[in-house]
Structure 1
Amino acid sequence: MLKASSDSESKPGEDDSPAAAALKCAFSLMQQRIISNPSDMMGILLFGTEQSKFQTPDERSKGGLAYPHCYLLADLDVPSAEDVKRLKSLVEDEEESKSLLVPSKEPVSMANVLFCANQIFTTKAPNFSSRRLFIVTDNDDPHTHDKALKSAAAVRAKDLYDLGVIIELFPISKPDHDFDRSKFYDDIVYRSSPLDPEAPAPLAPTVKPSLAKDGISLLHSLLSSINSKAVARRALFANLPLELGPGFKISVKGYIIFKRQVPARSCYVWLQGEKAQIAKGVTTQMADDTSRTIEKAEIKKAYKFGGDQVAFTPEEIKKVRNFGDPVIRIIGFKPLSSVPFWASVKQSTFIYPSEEDFVGSTRVFAALQQKLLRDEKVAIVWFIARKNAAPVISALVPGPEQLGDIGEQVMPPGMWLVPLPYADDVRSNPDTTLIQAPDSLVDMMRTVIQQLQLPKARYDPQKYPNPALQWHYRILQVLALDEDLPEKPEDKTIPKYRQIDKRAGGYVIDWGHELEDQFRAWQKENGPRTSSAKRSAPDESAPPKKRTKPSDGVESGDGPNSINDNDIKQHYSKNSLNKLTVPILKSWMENKGLSTSGKKSDLVERVEEYFENK
């Protein structure tokens, strides 16, 4: 992936220019991508600079320079710790960045810039399926009076698209001038087409410059825009048929949008030698009794039935697990209100149309999504994600497009596959006698909730990263870049107690006083609450019950978990041991000297083995 950062015509002495903000954005993005996508290649190319630094091997031997005012700051490669250090020093050292970001006196040829990017891609990443060129600039018309240079740049851009390189534009508006794409970049950056699966995403909105002259707003805007484009689109399943009716199918792709991030261990390192080495793991199956190595052909899968092991061949296992080909089949429609929020018991899957198998899938998919949104309906579907997967009854819920604060697309329009719970998954609430809160308490609590509302009444999970995961990555960064160890991790999930107390502390105290007054008034009307069921005092004159030593017959004692051998044997003969509770099974097994560790299935298996061997 090549990150192209433009040095615009900003003055060298101006702090936090768009070019400086773009470099900071590239540094932050490089740190993120090293963690999230460690195998991706990245590079940084500056254009419009007074200095030049890019030569092909032939040009080095001849001493020539084919790309003037193009400065290859970081060659296209997998970023190393040294690359991050070099870019960090450039970002933090203002004198060095000012000396490098000196704008050229003559305009740079955009055809040369695009051809330079072409050379980098073809020499460094010729076999990569995904190659993207990010252009950050505030010059909307680099060739105002030269149509030949405009035409040459359009030809070079077409060459990049023919090679599979997607160009993304991140325009920056000036305080006195809004960026106009129609002057030049509409011929360079192709707008996305719903019929082209490889087309780039919609163009990013124009980023406004910072008004505070500190570059923070500009940097955050750039990071937000580029992050929305840089996220890899990896499908959970590709080209799965969506069957709307008999013989009427379209193809869709599925994505997991929300997923818990955990530290990914890519390898094991052996530290016992002179230097650290990557360890290679080898798995070997061995017999329990002879410790003999078992070959794969000797292993068979079996199920226990009636005390016997029933073995199956791999082909028979596949037939048992086969419920049909992978498909999303619509079997009916329901009102959106019939699917409550608690019905989402598992992770949802986002689906989007694909034109690879069925041409016209995008139009049909869009029509179905808009119809469901307009009528507030959901489709009930039969969903098999992959071969040998168990079928799931799911709700196909339409989702509208969501835009961010600066107009970037946060969530595209599509539909969600929400797995529905079975009857056994739904539990009824316990029967409790509730006391209705008076209106005064409800009104006062409403004020408290209003004071604690998040901005725009929307929770953005991207603003609250996992503190444990970020601390893990921070330690890795410190060890790789030889930085100072931070004292404590930054935890943005800790509530802001002072701000909460300032905004709602007084209202909460008033609500507590009102609650106390209302409770006392309720006690006067209804009296103190007492338990209706009173425990009877034990009869001291009655002798205590004794537990006699158990025998092979009936277990003695009258405890709630007592059961005799005849009952256990009847349950065994009827194959209904699973109906007994765990305390009853453990109580009987303790009297027989059997182990009571493990789950209920383990207990049942030990009881079955006891009667089989008897």
Structure 2
Amino acid sequence: MPPFDDWNIIDEEEEEELQDASFFEGKRDVILFCIDCSESMHELRDDPNYEDVKTSHLFTALEAAVQIQKKKVIVGPNDSAGIVLFNTTCSSEAKNHATEIKKNSFVYQTITPISAPAIQELIQLLDAAREDPELLRSTFPPLTGKKMPMGDVFTSCNWVLRDGAPKTASKRVFLITDDDNPHPGSKQLLTSARTTLLDLTQSGAQVEPFFIATPEKPFDPSKFYSSVLLPNVLNDDDDDNEDTGVLPESISITRVEDLLSQMRFHEVPKRAIFSIPFRLADGFVIGVKGYGLVTEQKKGSYKYFIDLGDRMEVANSRTVYLDEDHQAEFDKTKIVYGMSLGAPAVEDGSDEEGEGTESVSRIVPFGKRPFYTADEIRSFRTLDLEPGIKLLGFKDREELVFEDNVKHSVFIHPDELVCLRPILGSRNKLSMQKYSGSKRTFTALLKKMIEREKLGLVLALTRRNAAPIFCAMLPQAENGDEGEWKEPAGFHLIPLPFADDIRAAPMEEAFRAPDEVKDAARAWIDKLCVKNGAYPPDSYPNPALAYHNAQLQASAFREEFDPEAFEDLTRPKYDMIHKRAGNLMKEWKRALVNDESANAVIVTTGTKRKADVSVDEAEIRSKHEAGALGKLRVDQLKEFLKSKSQPVSGKKAELAERVADWLDSH
């Protein structure tokens, strides 16, 4: 099995000169914060972080938006963000928006690329609001006596995204409110909200709800939002049972200070690593997207800046190929690729059966190198297959063993709009292919495979320059009932190894611990297990990367960076560990010391390594010319003669003479 560091590599054999990943690199993320400004959101409460300070839910929501955007400056500078406030009497006319922005909704921040000045403007507003708690109420007066229809809220969000979000970006709406029933008893407004939300999702946007609850006012999603925000995204839009969806309770935030921590789970966009068709049979094709589940977040690439005197501009860098003879730029499309050759092939005599070989082989003159174009190299690698997944058949689930998982899997999900790039290297020629009914077909296949406990066998070519591989398609049912960690419904594509990818592990003798020692170890391990058996990686960021980003963030906003204030969330809590399992560890240590087999050592006999007897032919020829063949050992002389198919019997003088005769004749 490859080391863990290699699991992040999607295709190890890909060459940068041949791989066109501009579609994935140019994929941007757009977040639109849609925040409620009703009376309850303006109600003043004690600040959990500062004494004698009053804040509101609206203040906390805006502060969370600031923190997310500040982090985006470092990790996603090409992403965009915007803020829309609803249930307020402010008008959006000052923001130069069209009349499609509904009444009682205010676009405080249009969707623009992440920039420090826009964030600093919001920071100044929050700093002033901390000094004057009534500032937000006067700046964004709440709507009294009634509530804005949620259908109009989703319509306003739709138009804001259409005006500012790129077409190929992943668009998300962070809905923040503390009102669990905005339209009590009105089925018409509920239906209108569901219809406009469908229009919003069909435009490519996804709604992420953040419901604020307090001890005195709990949030019940079943009153309104369970009928509007359906949790099962695999259900087709025309299904008749869409009223039965129930939102999980984990989206309801019991404490206001948990709003930011909950947003961190949704902050990183789910960028697809490929978007390809899935062929179930001849003429039966659906669209899917693939997501990498095991990735490593690394530092962002640095950029060059040019000093223009009054400002700094980013220098656009590009790679060109230079012709050394003419000292001029060379066309990349004319570059050919070659490889080193061994000894020239022996020419066979004329054969009538071999006359047709000229059409499939290339005659290379002696001393020359064979060269291939980029298209030919890609043809060798892909076997002239187009990117896609082809279903070959089904197998019992028990036939997939643990040893087959030699590389991390890819998770696929249905998508009715697939982006294709027909020509390699063409960065502006994209074709969008729509596969209607992909979600319905994908869901039906998933349910049947889970019901019959089957897995699929597929041939996958995920990217245009990758190599085709056979994969096991393992179904996964949706699981979101227990805890906050939700497993979506879909398939895992597990690359199957070839015969030479698996080698037998050496079997070594060892002592087994008795049951008493095992029970003692199991006792303290159970005390230190992760809650609910799930590990959320977003809760424990890489400390080195987080420290680096904190410094960049302080520099971007001209803030003072305090190294002592940095918190490493991966550092073990030793006091808690000793409190929970300290005594159990001591008991296990005593049981381990009393076990005789723990101190036993298995004596193994070492194997004698054979001496290296290989000698280069050039070295032997040089010793022959200098008359120093007698300085070579007998085993070296025999090894050389054996490699030349010469007899190896006799004494050293005979062997040296035989080597000299062969060198003279060759």
TM-score of the aligned structures, taking structure 2 as reference length: 0.67
- Match among 251, 255, 265 for residue 301 of structure 2: 265
Counterpart position of 1:373: 450
Give distance in 1, aligned partners of 2:277 and 2:105: 45
Give distance in 1, aligned partners of 2:539 and 2:317: 38
Deviations 1:566-606 (A, max 9, x none): 566789xxxxxxxxxxxxxxxxxxxxxxxxxxxxxxxxxxx
Q: Alpha carbons of 1:499 and 1:555: their partners in 2 closer, same or farther (altered >3 Å)?
A: farther
1:82-481 pair list within 5 angstroms: 82-91=117-126, 93-101=129-137, 103-107=142-146, 109-110=148-149, 120-121=160-161, 124-125=164-165, 131-142=171-182, 169-173=209-213, 175=215, 194-195=235-236, 205=248, 208=252, 210=254, 215-217=256-258, 220-221=261-262, 223=263, 227-228=265-266, 231-243=268-280, 245=281, 248-265=284-301, 267-270=303-306, 276-286=312-322, 294-296=330-332, 299-307=335-343, 308=367, 309-323=369-383, 324-356=385-417, 357-403=434-480, 410-481=486-557
In the alignment, is the contact (CA less than 8 A) between 1:174 and 1:208 conserved in 2? no
Counterpart position of 1:506: 583
Aligned-residue offset at 1:6: 0.8
Give distance in 2, aligned partners of 1:565 and 1:278: 62
Q: Alpha carbons of 1:413 and 1:422: their partners in 2 closer, same or farther (altered >3 Å)?
A: same
Deviations 1:245-283 (A, max 9, x none): 555544322222332111222632357989644233343
Aligned-residue offset at 1:420: 1.8
In the alignment, is the contact (CA less than 8 A) between 1:467 and 1:492 conserved in 2? yes
Aligned AA for 2:413? Y
Give distance in 2, aligned partners of 1:393 and 1:109: 53
In the alignment, is the contact (CA less than 8 A) between 2:389 and 2:459 conserved in 1? yes
In the alignment, is the contact (CA less than 8 A) between 2:248 and 2:481 conserved in 1? no
Q: Alpha carbons of 1:494 and 1:219: their partners in 2 closer, same or farther (altered >3 Å)?
A: closer
Counterpart position of 1:586: none
Give distance in 2, aligned partners of 1:562 and 1:98: 96
Aligned-residue offset at 1:455: 1.2
Give distance in 2, aligned partners of 1:88 and 1:303: 59
Give distance in 2, aligned partners of 1:117 and 1:365: 29
In the alignment, is the contact (CA less than 8 A) between 1:133 and 1:168 conserved in 2? yes
Counterpart position of 1:13: 44
Counterpart position of 1:41: 80
Give distance in 1, aligned partners of 2:192 and 2:598: 85
Q: Alpha carbons of 1:96 and 1:403: their partners in 2 closer, same or farther (altered >3 Å)?
A: farther
Counterpart position of 2:12: none
Aligned-residue offset at 1:79: 3.2
Gaps of 5+ in 1: 61-65, 536-547, 572-610
Aligned AA for 2:381? R
Aligned-residue offset at 1:383: 1.6
Q: Alpha carbons of 1:565 and 1:162: their partners in 2 closer, same or farther (altered >3 Å)?
A: closer
Give distance in 2, aligned partners of 1:97 and 1:559: 95
In the alignment, is the contact (CA less than 8 A) between 1:91 and 1:97 conserved in 2? no
Give distance in 1, aligned partners of 2:605 and 2:223: 83
Aligned AA for 2:552? L
In the alignment, is the contact (CA less than 8 A) between 1:555 and 1:565 conserved in 2? no
Aligned-residue offset at 1:482: 0.9
Give distance in 2, aligned partners of 1:522 and 1:141: 67
Q: Alpha carbons of 1:288 and 1:440: their partners in 2 closer, same or farther (altered >3 Å)?
A: farther
Residue aligned with 1:418, SS = strand
1:559-578 pair list within 5 angstroms: none
Aligned-residue offset at 1:480: 0.7
Deviations 1:382-418 (A, max 9, x none): 22223353111211111121327676x7332000101
Counterpart position of 2:62: 23
1:575-614 pair list within 5 angstroms: none
Answer with 78-87 or 294-303: which moved more.
294-303
Aligned AA for 1:349? V
Give distance in 1, aligned partners of 2:550 and 2:516: 49
Aligned AA for 1:400? A
Counterpart position of 2:426: none
Give distance in 2, aligned partners of 1:159 and 1:240: 25
Q: Alpha carbons of 1:513 and 1:380: their partners in 2 closer, same or farther (altered >3 Å)?
A: same
- Match among 502, 517, 529 for residue 594 of structure 2: 517
Aligned-residue offset at 1:419: 0.9
Give distance in 2, aligned partners of 1:463 and 1:507: 28
User: Among the aligned pairs, what percent are the same residue?
Assistant: 29
In the alignment, is the contact (CA less than 8 A) between 2:388 and 2:460 conserved in 1? yes
Give distance in 2, aligned partners of 1:531 and 1:156: 74
Q: Alpha carbons of 1:399 and 1:125: their partners in 2 closer, same or farther (altered >3 Å)?
A: closer
Residue aligned with 1:352, SS = strand
Aligned-residue offset at 1:481: 0.7
Deviations 1:344-367 (A, max 9, x none): 222321112234555444344323
In the alignment, is the contact (CA less than 8 A) between 2:210 and 2:253 conserved in 1? no
Q: How many residues align?
A: 541
In the alignment, is the contact (CA less than 8 A) between 2:170 and 2:271 conserved in 1? no
1:62-77 pair list within 5 angstroms: 70-77=105-112
Give distance in 1, aligned partners of 2:307 and 2:77: 22
Deviations 1:27-61 (A, max 9, x none): 23323444444333322233345x7353247899x
In the alignment, is the contact (CA less than 8 A) between 1:52 and 1:67 conserved in 2? no
Aligned-residue offset at 1:434: 1.1
Deviations 1:307-333 (A, max 9, x none): 452122445434433423333233344
In the alignment, is the contact (CA less than 8 A) between 2:226 and 2:246 conserved in 1? no
Residue aligned with 2:123, SS = helix
Deviations 1:414-466 (A, max 9, x none): 00101122222223222311112222212211113212211122222121111
Greater relative CO, 1 or 2 (CA 8 Å, sep 6+): 2
In the alignment, is the contact (CA less than 8 A) between 1:7 and 1:18 conserved in 2? no
TM-score of the aligned structures, taking structure 1 as reference length: 0.72
Answer with 357-366 or 435-444: which moved more.
357-366
Q: Alpha carbons of 1:80 and 1:300: their partners in 2 closer, same or farther (altered >3 Å)?
A: closer
Give distance in 2, aligned partners of 1:498 and 1:563: 68
Gaps of 5+ in 2: 1-30, 47-54, 344-366, 418-433, 609-619, 647-662
Residue aligned with 1:74, SS = strand
In the alignment, is the contact (CA less than 8 A) between 2:73 and 2:116 conserved in 1? no
Counterpart position of 1:588: none
Give distance in 1, aligned partners of 2:506 and 2:201: 62
